Amino acid sequence: MTTRDVLLGVIFFGIAFIAILVTVAMLLLAVKPNQKMDGEWTGEPGDGTTPPND
């Protein structure tokens, strides 16, 4: 019976570990501000500028 309890504990630990990693990753994505990429067009429509040709 001990082997079964240890195996069950390892399985639950693995599931909890993956759930924590996913949660932390989602929180980091939500908190990190979006930055403009190099060369990204920052003009507004109708301001007389045109977006760069890609």
pLDDT digits (tens, 9 = 90+) for 41-51: 666 665 656 66
| CA dist., res. 27 & res. 23, Å (int) | 6
Which pLDDT score is estimated for 4? 80
Confidence of residue 38 (pLDDT cuts 50, 70, 90): low
Give every CB contact of residue 42 below 8 A, 6+ residues apart in sequence.
36
| CA dist., res. 41 & res. 35, Å (int) | 12
DSSP label at 49? Answer: -
Confidence of residue 17 (pLDDT cuts 50, 70, 90): very high
Neighbours of 4 (CB within 10 A): 8
